[in-house]
């Protein structure tokens, strides 16, 4: 990973954690929904992590949270959560 992208990965990880909590899911529950381990979800969400992941994983997380993946590139807020839900 290019060093200049590390902060972008961390921001996406924080957004994943926020929306996972909005959905009332633990890391373990999300991992089970998308067939990834709790520890891998934890690494993705960790603000001090340098883990990288593919778009496939990001899309799987979005599907597991019933969100359009674009939400992970936008600021965290209720309006975006309501606008980008796929379960309505």
Domains of the chain and any CATH numbers: 3-82 (1.10.260.40)
Q: How many CB atoms lie within 10 A of CB 88?
A: 7
pLDDT at 16: 97
pLDDT at 50: 82
pLDDT category at 1 given cuts 50, 70, 90 is: low
CA 25 to CA 9: how far, in whole Å? 21
pLDDT tens column, 66-82: 999 999 999 999 999 99
CB-based burial of residue 75 (10 Å sphere; 0-12 exposed, 13-18 middle, 19+ buried)?
Answer: exposed
* 13 and 52 Cβ atoms separated by less than 8 Å: no
């Amino acid at each position: 990973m290019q060093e200049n992208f590390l902060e972008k990965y961390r921001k996406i990880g924080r957004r994943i954690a926020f929306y996972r909590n909005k959905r009332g899911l633990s890391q373990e529950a999300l991992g089970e929904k998308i067939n990834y381990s709790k520890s891998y979800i934890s690494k993705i969400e960790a603000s001090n992590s340098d883990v990288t992941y593919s778009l496939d994983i990001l899309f799987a997380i979005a599907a597991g949270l019933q969100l359009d993946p674009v939400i992970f590139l936008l600021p965290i807020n209720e309006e975006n959560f309501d606008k980008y839900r796929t379960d309505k």
